[in-house]
Amino acid sequence: MNAASQTAAVEPVSGVEIFVPLAKLKKSPRNARKVPHGEAAIEALAASIQHKGLIQNLVVEPETKEDGTPTGYYLVTAGEGRRLAMLLRAKRKQIKKSEPVRCWLDTQNDPSEISLDENVTRTPMHPADQFERFAELSNDKGWGAQEIGARFGVSAGVVKQRLRLGAVSPKLLQVYREDGLTLDQLMAFAITEDHSRQEQVFENLHHNREPWIIRRDMTANNVPGDDRRAVFVGADAYVEAGGNIIRDLFSEDRGGFFEDAGLLDTLAAEKLREVAEQVQAEGWKWAEAHIDYPHAHGMRRFYPQSVPLSDEDEARLEALSTEHDELAEGYSSYDEMPEDVAAKLEAVSDEIDAISERRSAYDGNVIAHGGAFVVLHHDGSVRVERGFVRLEDEAQADPQPEPNAEGDATDPQAGEDEQPEDGDEDVQDVEEDEEPGKPISDSLTRDLSAYRTLALRVALADQPDMALIALTHTLTAQLFYSYAEAGCLEVRPTVTPLGSHADGIEDTPLAARSSEQHEAWAERMPRDVADLWGFIVGLDDEKRLALLAHCASRTVNALRLPWDRKPRTLQTADRLATALALDVTKDWTPTVDSYLGRVTKAHIVEAVAEGVSEDAARRIADMKKPDMAQAAEQLLAGIGWLPTVLRTPKAETEQPATVEAEAFEPQDADEQDAYAVAAE
């Protein structure tokens, strides 16, 4: 410190620059700012002073005692934030408290007015200017986000955001300066640095300029990072192949947006083909890779059959099960276990699963002549569907001849010795000297089988448990085998494909659950339909009911079709939904594709009014339909609103039956026979 400065400090004269040790500066009680500076602001000032020095000096006045005697300290009239920033640097040992601070001595003006003036009489820099200057520092000086952030006391993340905003089209920045865009809208445009794309979207915007609409339009031709193809391929592989990922620095981008959809499809197909090669290496004749499951393949499918484990595997499985129970004892989840115990338990579980998988296997003929589809699941995982056999390979894959029904065998001489038709005069003229073992006539066979059929009907009606078995057998034979005549009940299940009624429905998580249920049962079925009866009889009551429920579920049809009016069927479907407490909200949400983009504006407004509020409905009522549908999708997300067709009616109190069920029970044998015949 020079002599002039020391003299100025001792004998202060208003309107001169002086240097005061940091330790001799105090906060002025007449400072107009009562709300203290935030930590972030002090950090920014400290960083600025560290890299650029004190750009603006402090304004001070001498502190005096009551009698006017100077204390040797100075009160900071303007610049309290800078004083606190210098103290923070001293605390961090970057400077000493004796560091001289450049100050402007003012004893003529009112300190409160000076403090107020400094904070009021100024014009903040427009944010657009700030964004552009940050971009210039990066472009002209080559500074990265970390270095720029250090010089201005802000995080690297904030710098990246400002650099991205500074890289927005100059045309849009000017619109922002003129208050034609809000900061949120500008941030939406900054999702990509493509100026032509930004300007194109801006020109096509209508009166509704919500940020989410801008983001939607900016990424309309891109693939979201949570798309199943993006999840399957992975960001690293996509970028390595030359693809670019757009990142949104201002909102949760869920993995960004993949710019090149064609490249992504190519990478996904290549990766699926690699998996298909591994599957074919299992011994299959062929394996095809598809992004979407080829529902129209028209092939018959075979399922793996149960096989016994070897004695060695059985012993190992028993030992592993015991070890698993011992390790898991006392813990309710992996999170509660020590790491070594959890790792060991997981290894034991994996080995149990591996051995358990040997309980079922495909027939060698099926593998040798069949194949598999490798497709992409809805969540980005690989889905392998094995056991499909092409029409030309079915005979080799399933060499067992289809069994003929009893009585269907034909005599080679049948054409020469046909039985007479009903009504012929010689029907009863059976020669007494016919050779033994010759089949009885077709007409008599029909008569006797009709009597037996009637007897079976009556007997089955008396034994509900056996009726359950017979019904389950008939449905199962038709739904899991190609032998439609394997059951003796004339019950024909009809499974209506839904893919032609709702695009993409067969690739939804709900459809995957349905397929998994069917496949789980199919894997347990005996290969030969002749063994199916014994299989069903061998099930316990609970599993038999579960199988019947599954078969029945496959036949449900609650479709509302304009050419197929069936009010009673739909009424029954409503009653079934009520009885099941069906909750479609778990698997369906109203989106532009699923509902909102396919109904009128009046329906959209009605949906928002019901699901959100009348005020929300009024706010979107004047929008154009595409914008209205997008806005409604955002408003209705996650609140559980459903259109009328998907709603489950509330349960109604059932009225008690006026006639006792016993009134319909046949009371004696004669009445029972009459009842059975009437049922014909």
Per-residue pLDDT tens over the stretch 639-680: 889 888 888 888 765 554 444 444 444 444 444 443 343 333
- With bands split at pLDDT 50, 70 and 90, how would you rate the model's confidence at 22? very high
**Per-residue pLDDT tens digits for 69-81:** 889 999 999 888 9
Which residues of the chain does CATH 3.90.1530.10 include? Answer: 3-120
Report which residue type is found at 434: E
pLDDT value of position 607 = 93
pLDDT at position 660 = 43
Q: Residue 382: which H helix or E strand, with range?
A: strand 382-389
Residue type at 396?
A: Q
pLDDT tens track for 96-125: 999 999 998 988 888 887 777 777 766 677
Give the DSSP H or E segment for 26: strand 25-27
pLDDT for position 12: 52
Cα–Cα distance, 417 to 165 (Å, whole number): 96
- Which residue would you say has higher pLDDT here, 252 or 47? 47
With contact defined as beta carbons under 8 Å apart, do 192 and 280 qualify? no
Compute the mean pLDDT over every residue in the chain, rounded to the nearest whole number: 80
pLDDT value for 413: 39
- Kindly report the backbone phi and psi dihedral angles of residue 227, in degrees, each rounded to the nearest multiple of 5, phi listed first: -65, 145
What single-letter DSSP state applies at residue 675?
Answer: H
Q: Which tens digit of pLDDT belongs to each residue from 176-199?
A: 888 888 888 888 888 888 888 888
Tokens of 221: 């031709």
The token duo for 8 is: 């100025």
pLDDT tens per residue, range 257-293: 898 888 999 999 999 999 999 999 999 999 999 988 8
3-state secondary structure of 101: strand
CATH numeric code, 3-120: 3.90.1530.10
Which residue is it, tokens 């038999």? 544
With cut-offs at 50, 70 and 90, classify the pLDDT of residue 411: very low
Q: What residues contact 123, with CB distance under 8 A and at least 6 apart?
A: none
C-alpha to C-alpha distance for 512 and 517, rounded to whole angstroms: 9
Between CA 30 and CA 76 the distance in angstroms is 9
Q: What is the mean pLDDT of residues 244-262?
A: 79
Give the C-alpha separation, 274 to 374, whole Å: 10
SS3 525: coil
CA angle 666, 670, 672 (to 5 degrees): 30
Q: ∠105-107-109 over CA atoms, to 5°?
A: 110
Buried-exposed string 219-242: b where 16+ CB fall within 10 A, e elsewhere: beebbebebbbbbbbeeeebeeee
Name residue 362's amino acid.
Y
For strands 371-376 and 286-290, give the pairing. Answer: parallel
**Most confidently modeled range among 10-24, 360-374, 516-530:** 360-374
d(CA 142, CA 74): 42
Chain length of the chain: 680
Contact 462, 530 (CB under 8 A): no
Q: How many other β-carbons are positioned within 10 Å of the β-carbon of residue 340?
A: 8
Q: Between 411 and 524, where is the model more confident?
A: 524
pTM above 0.85, yes or no: no
First to last CA, the chain: 120
- Lowest mean pLDDT of 280-289, 452-461, 550-559, 567-576, name the range: 452-461
| Other beta carbons within 10 Å of 297 | 13
The answer to whether the CB of 82 falls within 8 A of the CB of 56 is yes
Run of H or E including 215:
helix 211-218
What does the pLDDT read at residue 671?
A: 42
Tokens standing for residue 606: 């009605």
Q: Which helix (H) or strand (E) holds 25?
A: strand 25-27
pLDDT (average), residues 291-318: 84
Rounded Cα distance between 413 and 364, Å, is: 39
pLDDT score at 326: 86
